[in-house]
Structure 1
Amino acid sequence: MEACFAAFDKDEDGSININEFSALCKALFRNEKGKPYKLDSQQVSDLFMIFNTSGDGSMSKQEFVYCWNGWIKKIVRPQSALVVVDVQNDFISGSLALHRPVIEAAEEQDNLETRDAALYIQPRMLDTVPFDMHCYSLDWHPKDHISFIENVGIRTLAADSPIQDGGKCNLYDLVIFEGPPKTSQILWPAHCIQESWGAELHKDLKVHPNAKTVFKGVNPQLDSYSAFYDNQKLSKTILDELIRKEGVSDLYICGIATDVCVASTAFHALELGFRTALVSDASRGINLENINAAYNRIKEEHGVIVNSTEVKAMVQGRDRRPELGYKLALECRKNITYPAKNKNSKYNKQITNNDGNMNGNETISNPPQLVRA
């Protein structure tokens, strides 16, 4: 930390100004060949004001300590997890197989069946990329699960359901069940039933010996695309807890299907504060328009879409993406209380009075510390 501070404190005034911080960012955000990524002046200013907590335009050494421990060090030496979503028999060759998947395939896979991309690329990452943690999610449905078209008649359709006669439903129709909870549901064929062959991970999928397994969709009344939450966010899986326990900050997500369960997992990963990359060529999807929409949303929320060939350098901290650095800075901001002259003061957490009302003049005054996310 001392060496870094001294290296960028060019005028030796004991603080880092905006120009010095801009030089730091140029050195920090580089690809594996050492070429700097472009950051515009507004991005640099936003980042600077997050860590110049006093808002006086000069980052003190005390402020830099937090910047170093909570931000720089985690970018240079990230803790990373591979999250493989739902690479199960029923999605490969079973009842809900993607027979015409659309994927963004790497050139070296031209001779591979695109439907098996999730099987062939993930093992190569497992063999070559030094992830700190490996997680595998499985759809794990009871026989009476709400998503199965075979079960549409065992629940009451809501008055505003677009289809009122369950007997006239077709695969992939959208219906609304009365509940509780009231639920909009796409109807799928029965798939990934607990303890069945269809629910097993595919035999060609390579599983790390220390992998963590997460079961989702276990509640018969709720579907669960994401490996973190059910579709109504009424309950969580254990994935978030497992990842935080290991101190992981970066998630590389792949699997089936890109535009459904993989995308939902990535959205929630970003929401929970993780630096998130969707590995496009190790995933396969259904609808190209929906895949592109998912990619755009991930990028808008400061995640990245990457090819599997890029992952190793990123996990090793040799390829440092500004999007992910910006995401981490936003997480740091959540734990800092700013004075009024810093524009980030509008993000200060508010606390309630004894009567439960918000006190607009008070903020949580815990010392700044990075959320372990």
Structure 2
Amino acid sequence: MADEDVNYFDSLRKTDFSDTNGLKTCFDHFDKDRDGLLDANEFSALCKQLFVHNHSDGYHLTEQQEEALVELLDSDKDGKINMEEFEICWKYWFRQVLSPVSALVIVDVQNDFIDGSLALRNSPACQEGSEVLPVINKLLEEELFDVVVYTKDWHPADHISFFENVKERNIHPSSPIQGEDAKMFDTVKFAGPNDLVCEQTLWPTHCVQGTWGAELHQNLKIVDDAVVINKGTNPDIDSYSAFWDNMKQSQTSLVEELKARRVTDIYVCGLAVDICVAFTSLDGVEHGYRTVVIEDAVRGIDCDGIKTRKKKMKDAGCVFVKSADVPDMLNCKDRHPELGYQAAVNVAMAMKIHEARLLGSP
């Protein structure tokens, strides 16, 4: 087999990139003219082998995509990658692309969203929430992930999102709908704590702490040593995301749990894709996680909302895949350039923080 037919990075999958023994060998492999720099053509050849699908087929990045990556990884902004910059790539960029730590985040697969007060089958999209169960269970049975996270809506009985509580709260003067006129599923604006204006969709009472509706569905496989995140516990602010409440006033423990386990990638599934899955995925990207949404393991509420939120997630950098594609991705045989770009963003951000700390030191 000719050298150009061999994918150099296949041998580096799951490598410990803190060991720099292979760094110079890798650099020299792509530095064809031996000038100590990776120019545009050499970096393009690197990308062709770094980002592959079905073991050998490249994703064929555009010139603009490659330039965007160089811009992030090229500290001295000369348009080329030198050895010092390549060492940063080796330790941090390649580590995320070729040796990721992955978490499956299972969002709100609870009784109320499948058979209870907010069963998806009764929503405008008429999707069946229980259809995610066999897909998620199969992924869990294959034991593919380094970490498994279950999230739950865990609301107090006086929660702000419940239509039944609307008359017990102060409507903000700017709200287009006042309390006496509000109907189920309307969006109103409440006068929240600390002068906040909380825009809130009014839902039926659901997932009340300690009730059957808040429990994970009995047919969902529960694995040992999983992380469980309860959200929406503040009666005055809703929390669609598993990371933050809707007003970004307080975090759950999810980031802390993922950091403790050195997670780089999150694979998000569950209910509902246009609400809690979407908010969790978008916050995941914002926190720097390479974020994948498993398309056949999500269901949603409203067709227009599903379409809009999926576009927003894709625009933010989320990758949508089928569950059948997940094993190759976790084994780094299928390496998406969108996820490589997020990894490069993370490296550039970390370098800026490092430089700022150096400048600020005495």
Same fold by TM-score, threshold 0.5 exceeded? yes
Distance 1:249 1:165, change over 3 A: closer
Gaps of 5+ in 2: 1-22
What is the aligned partner in structure 1 of residue 96 from structure 2? Answer: 74
In the alignment, structure 1 segments of 5+ residues that lack a partner are: 104-112, 338-348, 351-362, 368-373
1:58 and 2:75 aligned: no
Q: Does residue 23 of the first structure (1) align with residue 37 of the second (2)?
A: no
Which of 126, 142, 146 is matched with 1:128 structurally? 142
C-alpha displacement at 1:311, in angstroms? 0.9
Listed one character per residue, the Cα deviations across residues 163-219 of structure 1 (whole Å, up to 9, x for unaligned) are 2243x4321011222232331111111110001111000000011211100000000
1:146-168 CA-to-partner distances (Å, cap 9, x unmatched) read 111111121122222222243x4
Question: How many Å apart are 1:365 and its aligned residue?
Answer: 5.2
CA offset digits 1:103-132 (Å, max 9, x no partner):
8xxxxxxxxx94312211101111225211
Name the residue aligned to 1:89.
Answer: 111
SS at structure 2 position matched to 1:99: helix
- The verdict on how the C-alpha distance between 1:58 and 1:150 changes in structure 2, with shifts beyond 3 A counting, is closer
Mapping of 1:223-302 within 5 angstroms?
Answer: 223-302=238-317
Identify the residue that residue 69 of structure 2 maps to in structure 1. 47
For residues 107 and 192 of structure 2, the distance between their equivalents in structure 1, rounded to whole angstroms, comes to 28
| Matching residue of 2:120 | 98
Match of 1:345 in 2: none
CA change 1:163–1:59 in 2 (3 A) is closer
Deviations 1:277-301 (A, max 9, x none): 1111101101122112112112211
**Counterpart contact for 1:254–1:279, Cα < 8 Å:** yes
Alpha-carbon distance, 1:58 to partner: 3.5
Separation in 2 of the partners of 1:313 and 1:286? Answer: 30
Query: Quick check: 2:123–2:301 contact (8 Å CA) kept in 1?
Result: yes
Checking the alignment, whether the CA contact within 8 Å between 1:222 and 1:230 is kept in structure 2 is: yes
Query: CA separation in 1, counterparts of 2:235 and 2:61?
Result: 47
309, 316, 326: which one pairs with 2:324?
309
Query: Match for 1:196 among 203, 211, 219?
Result: 211
**CA-to-aligned-CA distance 1:39-68 (integer Å, 9 cap, x gap):** 111211221232221223432212111011
Matched, 1:117 2:131: yes
SS in 2 for 1:278: strand
Q: Give the structure 2 partner of residue 137 of structure 1.
A: 151
| 1:319-330 alignment runs, 5 A limit | 319-330=334-345
1:169 pairs with 2:161: no
Q: Choose which of 143, 146, 150 in structure 1 pairs with 2:164.
A: 150
Amino acid of the residue matched to residue 21 of structure 1? F
1:101 is displaced (CA, Å) by 6.3
Distance 1:333 1:213 in 2: 31
Mark the CA change 1:287 to 1:237 in structure 2 (over 3 Å): closer, same or farther: same
- Aligned residues, how many? 334
Q: Which has the higher helix share?
A: 2
1:176–1:102 Cα change, 3 Å: closer
State the 1:144 CA deviation: 0.6
Any conservation in 2 of the 1:145–1:151 contact (CA below 8 Å)?
yes
In structure 1, what is the equivalent of residue 27 of structure 2? Answer: 5
1:244-297 alpha-carbon deviations (Å, 9 max, x no partner)? 111111110010001000000001001111100111110110112211211211
Q: Compare 173-182 and 116-125 and name the one that shifted more.
A: 173-182
Give aligned-pair identity as a percent.
43
**Superposition misfits of 4+ residues, deviation over 4 angstroms:** 100-103
Change (3 A) 1:124 1:11: same
**What SS does the aligned partner of 2:347 have?**
helix
Using the alignment, how far apart are the partners of 2:89 and 2:261 within structure 1?
22
1:364 aligns with 2:356: yes
1:86 aligned partner, one-letter code? D
Q: Is the 8 Å Cα contact of residues 101 and 114 (structure 1) preserved in structure 2?
A: no
* Structure 2 residue matching 1:10: 3-state secondary structure: coil
Aligned twin of 1:107: none
Asked if structure 1 preserves the Cα contact closer than 8 Å seen for 2:59 and 2:337, the reply is yes
After alignment, is 218-227 or 296-305 more displaced? 296-305
SS at match of 1:153: helix
Distance 1:170 1:55 in 2: 56
State the AA in 2 paired with 1:96: L
- AA aligned to 1:80 is S
Show CA shifts across 1:325-367 (max 9, x none): 0111112111335xxxxxxxxxxx79xxxxxxxxxxxx61549
Select between 67-76 and 268-277 the one with higher mean Cα deviation.
Answer: 67-76
Q: What is the DSSP-based 3-state SS (H/G/I as helix, E as strand, rest coil) of the residue aligned with 1:276?
A: strand
1:308 shift after superposition: 0.8
Root-mean-square deviation over aligned CA pairs: 1.9
State the 1:102 CA deviation: 8.5
